[in-house]
Amino acid sequence: MIYIKTKKEIDYIRESCKIVAETLQLLKKKVRPGVSTFELDKIAEDYILSNNARSAFKGYSQGGSLKFPGNICVSVDEEVVHGIPGNRILNEGEIVSLDCGVVKNNFFGDAALTVAVGEISNEKKCLMDVTEQSLYKGIEHALRNNRVHDISNAVQVYVENNGFHIVRDLCGHGVGKYLHEDPSVPNFGKKGTGPLLKKGMTLAIEPMVNLSTYEVKVDPDGWTILTQDGNPSAHFEHTILIEDGKPEILTIC
Protein backbone atom coordinates (compact mmCIF):
# COMPACT_ATOMS: atom_id res chain seq x y z
CA MET A 1 0.00 0.00 0.00
CA ILE A 2 1.30 3.44 -0.97
CA TYR A 3 0.56 6.10 1.63
CA ILE A 4 -0.33 9.66 0.68
CA LYS A 5 0.60 11.81 3.67
CA THR A 6 -1.46 14.64 5.11
CA LYS A 7 0.07 18.03 5.87
CA LYS A 8 0.29 17.17 9.56
CA GLU A 9 1.99 13.84 8.82
CA ILE A 10 4.45 15.57 6.48
CA ASP A 11 5.32 18.04 9.24
CA TYR A 12 6.17 15.14 11.54
CA ILE A 13 8.21 13.42 8.82
CA ARG A 14 10.02 16.68 8.13
CA GLU A 15 10.99 16.92 11.82
CA SER A 16 12.45 13.41 11.84
CA CYS A 17 14.26 14.10 8.58
CA LYS A 18 15.83 17.25 10.00
CA ILE A 19 17.35 15.22 12.84
CA VAL A 20 18.65 12.68 10.32
CA ALA A 21 20.31 15.41 8.28
CA GLU A 22 21.86 17.05 11.33
CA THR A 23 23.15 13.71 12.62
CA LEU A 24 24.82 12.90 9.31
CA GLN A 25 26.49 16.29 9.09
CA LEU A 26 27.79 15.87 12.64
CA LEU A 27 29.16 12.42 11.82
CA LYS A 28 30.76 13.68 8.61
CA LYS A 29 32.88 16.07 10.67
CA LYS A 30 33.98 13.24 12.98
CA VAL A 31 35.20 10.86 10.28
CA ARG A 32 39.00 10.62 10.33
CA PRO A 33 41.69 7.94 10.48
CA GLY A 34 41.80 6.22 13.88
CA VAL A 35 38.10 6.59 14.71
CA SER A 36 36.16 3.38 15.32
CA THR A 37 32.79 2.71 13.79
CA PHE A 38 31.46 2.23 17.33
CA GLU A 39 32.51 5.79 18.23
CA LEU A 40 30.51 7.12 15.29
CA ASP A 41 27.52 5.07 16.39
CA LYS A 42 27.70 6.52 19.90
CA ILE A 43 27.91 10.09 18.59
CA ALA A 44 24.81 9.45 16.49
CA GLU A 45 22.91 7.86 19.37
CA ASP A 46 23.65 10.76 21.73
CA TYR A 47 22.57 13.37 19.21
CA ILE A 48 19.37 11.57 18.23
CA LEU A 49 18.36 11.05 21.86
CA SER A 50 19.11 14.70 22.65
CA ASN A 51 16.39 15.61 20.15
CA ASN A 52 13.78 13.42 21.90
CA ALA A 53 13.92 10.93 19.06
CA ARG A 54 15.31 7.41 18.66
CA SER A 55 17.16 5.43 16.06
CA ALA A 56 14.89 3.74 13.54
CA PHE A 57 17.54 1.07 12.96
CA LYS A 58 18.42 -0.19 16.45
CA GLY A 59 16.47 -3.37 17.09
CA TYR A 60 15.03 -3.39 13.56
CA SER A 61 14.19 -6.80 12.16
CA GLN A 62 12.63 -7.80 8.88
CA GLY A 63 11.45 -11.20 7.75
CA GLY A 64 12.68 -12.93 10.89
CA SER A 65 16.21 -11.52 10.61
CA LEU A 66 18.38 -10.83 13.62
CA LYS A 67 17.69 -7.47 15.24
CA PHE A 68 20.08 -4.79 14.00
CA PRO A 69 22.38 -3.88 16.92
CA GLY A 70 23.53 -0.40 15.86
CA ASN A 71 21.96 3.05 15.85
CA ILE A 72 23.34 3.71 12.38
CA CYS A 73 24.78 1.64 9.56
CA VAL A 74 28.51 2.21 9.03
CA SER A 75 29.79 0.55 5.84
CA VAL A 76 33.48 0.78 4.95
CA ASP A 77 34.98 0.35 1.45
CA GLU A 78 33.73 -3.06 0.22
CA GLU A 79 30.75 -2.93 2.59
CA VAL A 80 27.85 -1.68 0.48
CA VAL A 81 25.22 -1.09 3.18
CA HIS A 82 24.04 -2.31 6.60
CA GLY A 83 27.51 -2.39 8.16
CA ILE A 84 27.30 -3.04 11.89
CA PRO A 85 29.20 -0.52 14.06
CA GLY A 86 31.90 -2.13 16.15
CA ASN A 87 35.66 -2.27 16.70
CA ARG A 88 36.69 -1.58 13.10
CA ILE A 89 39.06 1.40 12.96
CA LEU A 90 38.87 3.74 9.98
CA ASN A 91 42.09 3.99 7.98
CA GLU A 92 43.48 6.65 5.67
CA GLY A 93 42.29 6.12 2.12
CA GLU A 94 39.04 4.32 2.93
CA ILE A 95 35.54 5.56 2.23
CA VAL A 96 32.74 5.09 4.74
CA SER A 97 28.99 5.15 4.11
CA LEU A 98 26.87 6.43 6.99
CA ASP A 99 23.16 5.55 6.93
CA CYS A 100 20.85 7.08 9.53
CA GLY A 101 17.16 6.54 10.26
CA VAL A 102 15.22 8.42 12.93
CA VAL A 103 11.74 8.04 14.37
CA LYS A 104 10.03 10.83 16.30
CA ASN A 105 6.31 11.15 17.03
CA ASN A 106 5.99 7.76 15.30
CA PHE A 107 7.15 9.14 11.93
CA PHE A 108 10.37 8.27 10.11
CA GLY A 109 13.19 9.89 8.17
CA ASP A 110 16.05 8.14 6.38
CA ALA A 111 19.22 9.30 4.59
CA ALA A 112 22.82 8.34 3.90
CA LEU A 113 26.08 9.75 2.61
CA THR A 114 29.58 8.50 1.89
CA VAL A 115 32.64 10.23 3.36
CA ALA A 116 36.35 10.06 2.57
CA VAL A 117 38.69 9.01 5.39
CA GLY A 118 41.61 11.38 4.91
CA GLU A 119 43.10 11.39 1.41
CA ILE A 120 41.56 8.90 -1.01
CA SER A 121 42.34 7.75 -4.54
CA ASN A 122 40.96 9.56 -7.57
CA GLU A 123 39.06 6.39 -8.42
CA LYS A 124 37.21 6.50 -5.10
CA LYS A 125 36.59 10.24 -5.45
CA CYS A 126 35.00 9.61 -8.83
CA LEU A 127 32.89 6.75 -7.45
CA MET A 128 31.58 8.97 -4.64
CA ASP A 129 30.88 11.89 -6.96
CA VAL A 130 29.02 9.80 -9.54
CA THR A 131 26.94 8.11 -6.83
CA GLU A 132 25.96 11.43 -5.25
CA GLN A 133 25.16 13.05 -8.59
CA SER A 134 23.08 10.03 -9.62
CA LEU A 135 20.94 10.61 -6.53
CA TYR A 136 20.18 14.15 -7.66
CA LYS A 137 19.52 12.96 -11.22
CA GLY A 138 16.92 10.62 -9.77
CA ILE A 139 15.39 13.33 -7.59
CA GLU A 140 15.00 15.57 -10.66
CA HIS A 141 12.60 12.99 -12.06
CA ALA A 142 10.59 12.58 -8.83
CA LEU A 143 7.77 14.68 -10.25
CA ARG A 144 4.03 14.41 -9.81
CA ASN A 145 2.51 12.27 -12.60
CA ASN A 146 5.87 10.72 -13.48
CA ARG A 147 6.44 7.04 -12.75
CA VAL A 148 8.72 5.50 -10.13
CA HIS A 149 10.97 3.98 -12.77
CA ASP A 150 11.57 7.41 -14.29
CA ILE A 151 13.63 7.96 -11.13
CA SER A 152 15.22 4.53 -11.49
CA ASN A 153 16.19 5.03 -15.13
CA ALA A 154 17.74 8.44 -14.50
CA VAL A 155 19.97 6.94 -11.81
CA GLN A 156 20.93 3.94 -13.91
CA VAL A 157 21.77 5.90 -17.05
CA TYR A 158 23.99 8.37 -15.21
CA VAL A 159 25.87 5.67 -13.30
CA GLU A 160 26.42 3.35 -16.24
CA ASN A 161 27.42 6.19 -18.58
CA ASN A 162 30.19 6.91 -16.09
CA GLY A 163 31.43 3.33 -16.07
CA PHE A 164 30.16 2.21 -12.65
CA HIS A 165 27.64 -0.43 -11.58
CA ILE A 166 24.26 -0.10 -9.86
CA VAL A 167 23.47 -2.61 -7.13
CA ARG A 168 20.35 -4.46 -8.28
CA ASP A 169 19.55 -6.55 -5.21
CA LEU A 170 18.70 -3.52 -3.05
CA CYS A 171 16.52 -0.48 -3.62
CA GLY A 172 14.97 2.67 -2.21
CA HIS A 173 11.49 2.73 -0.76
CA GLY A 174 8.58 4.70 0.56
CA VAL A 175 9.15 6.05 4.07
CA GLY A 176 7.28 8.09 6.67
CA LYS A 177 4.63 6.20 8.59
CA TYR A 178 7.00 3.22 8.58
CA LEU A 179 10.71 2.89 7.90
CA HIS A 180 10.03 0.84 4.78
CA GLU A 181 6.84 1.35 2.79
CA ASP A 182 5.64 0.81 -0.75
CA PRO A 183 6.63 1.59 -3.40
CA SER A 184 10.02 0.04 -3.93
CA VAL A 185 12.31 2.48 -5.74
CA PRO A 186 14.94 0.48 -7.66
CA ASN A 187 18.00 2.19 -9.08
CA PHE A 188 17.51 0.70 -12.54
CA GLY A 189 14.46 0.39 -14.74
CA LYS A 190 12.53 1.40 -17.83
CA LYS A 191 11.17 4.92 -18.13
CA GLY A 192 7.41 5.28 -18.03
CA THR A 193 6.85 2.20 -15.86
CA GLY A 194 6.18 1.62 -12.18
CA PRO A 195 3.63 3.24 -9.84
CA LEU A 196 2.40 6.77 -10.55
CA LEU A 197 3.99 9.49 -8.43
CA LYS A 198 1.39 11.51 -6.54
CA LYS A 199 1.55 14.63 -4.41
CA GLY A 200 2.03 13.71 -0.76
CA MET A 201 4.18 10.62 -1.36
CA THR A 202 7.45 10.49 0.58
CA LEU A 203 10.26 8.39 -0.84
CA ALA A 204 13.77 7.38 0.18
CA ILE A 205 15.85 7.41 -2.99
CA GLU A 206 19.22 5.71 -2.45
CA PRO A 207 21.66 4.76 -5.18
CA MET A 208 24.21 2.12 -4.15
CA VAL A 209 27.01 2.07 -6.68
CA ASN A 210 29.90 -0.38 -6.99
CA LEU A 211 33.25 0.17 -8.63
CA SER A 212 33.51 -2.93 -10.76
CA THR A 213 30.45 -5.22 -10.50
CA TYR A 214 26.83 -4.92 -9.44
CA GLU A 215 26.99 -8.31 -7.70
CA VAL A 216 26.84 -8.43 -3.90
CA LYS A 217 26.82 -10.99 -1.11
CA VAL A 218 25.73 -11.11 2.52
CA ASP A 219 28.32 -11.26 5.29
CA PRO A 220 28.05 -14.10 7.84
CA ASP A 221 26.87 -11.48 10.38
CA GLY A 222 23.53 -11.64 8.57
CA TRP A 223 23.35 -7.90 7.90
CA THR A 224 26.35 -6.44 6.11
CA ILE A 225 26.09 -6.42 2.31
CA LEU A 226 29.46 -6.70 0.56
CA THR A 227 30.61 -6.30 -3.02
CA GLN A 228 31.17 -9.70 -4.56
CA ASP A 229 34.70 -8.81 -5.70
CA GLY A 230 35.88 -6.88 -2.63
CA ASN A 231 36.13 -3.55 -4.44
CA PRO A 232 34.59 -0.39 -2.93
CA SER A 233 31.02 0.85 -3.04
CA ALA A 234 29.36 4.21 -2.32
CA HIS A 235 25.88 5.08 -1.05
CA PHE A 236 23.90 8.33 -0.95
CA GLU A 237 20.26 8.74 0.10
CA HIS A 238 17.64 11.43 0.68
CA THR A 239 14.03 11.33 1.83
CA ILE A 240 11.99 13.47 -0.56
CA LEU A 241 8.41 14.74 -0.79
CA ILE A 242 6.46 14.72 -4.05
CA GLU A 243 4.95 18.17 -4.59
CA ASP A 244 3.10 19.94 -7.41
CA GLY A 245 6.41 21.28 -8.69
CA LYS A 246 9.94 20.26 -7.81
CA PRO A 247 10.27 17.60 -5.11
CA GLU A 248 11.31 18.79 -1.66
CA ILE A 249 14.41 17.20 -0.15
CA LEU A 250 13.49 16.67 3.51
CA THR A 251 16.83 15.31 4.77
CA ILE A 252 18.82 18.47 4.32
CA CYS A 253 20.01 20.98 6.90
Residue 28 belongs to domain spanning: 7-249
| Gap between the Cα atoms of 12 and 129, Å rounded | 31
What pLDDT is attached to residue 54?
98
**CATH for 124:** 3.90.230.10
Comparing CA positions, the residue from 232, 9, 245 lying closest to residue 127 is 232
For every residue of 30-89, DSSP letters joined together read H--TT-BHHHHHHHHHHHHHHTT-EESSTT---TTPPPP--SEEEEETTEEE-PPPSSPB
Give CA–CA dist 95/107, Å, rounded: 30
Helix runs in the chain, H state only? 7-30, 37-50, 122-140, 148-161
| Contacts with 124 (C-beta within 8 Å, 6 or more apart), sequence order | 93, 95, 116, 232, 234
In a domain, 202, yes or no: yes
- The H-or-E segment that residue 248 falls in is strand 248-249
Asked if the structure places residue 68 within a domain, the reply is yes
Residue 95 domain flag = yes
For the four alpha carbons of 118, 123, 126 and 131, in that order, the dihedral sign comes to: negative
What's the pLDDT at 65? 78
In the chain, the number of structural domains is: 1
Q: What is the C-alpha to C-alpha distance for residues 17 and 109, in angstroms, rounded to an integer?
A: 4
146 domain residue, yes or no: yes
1 located within any domain: no
Tens-digit pLDDT string for the chain (253 aa): 999 999 999 999 999 999 999 999 999 999 999 999 999 999 999 999 999 999 999 999 987 778 999 999 999 999 999 999 999 999 999 999 999 999 999 999 999 999 999 999 999 999 999 999 999 999 999 999 999 999 999 999 999 999 999 999 999 999 999 999 999 999 999 999 999 999 999 999 999 999 999 999 999 999 999 999 999 999 999 999 999 999 999 999 8
Q: What is the pTM (predicted TM-score) of this model?
A: 0.97
